[in-house]
Amino acid sequence: EADIYQTPRYLVIGTGKKITLECSQTMGHDKMYWYQQDPGMELHLIHYSYGVNSTEKGDLSSESTVSRIRTEHFPLTLESARPSHTSQYLCASSELAGGPAGPADTQYFGPGTRLTVL
Number of residues that bind another protein (CB under 8 A): 25
Least distance from another protein to the Cβ atom of residue 103, Å: 4
Does 5 participate in binding another protein (rule CB under 8 A)? Answer: no
Least distance from another protein to the Cβ atom of residue 75, Å: 17
Candidates 17, 22, 36; CA nearest to 80 is 17
Phi then psi dihedrals of residue 83, to 5 deg: -55, -30
- Convert residues 48-67 into a mask of x (bound to another protein by CB under 8 A) and - (unbound): x-x-----------------
Least distance from another protein to the Cβ atom of residue 114, Å: 7
Handedness of CA 32, 37, 40, 43 (dihedral sign): negative
Q: What is the DSSP letter of 84?
A: G
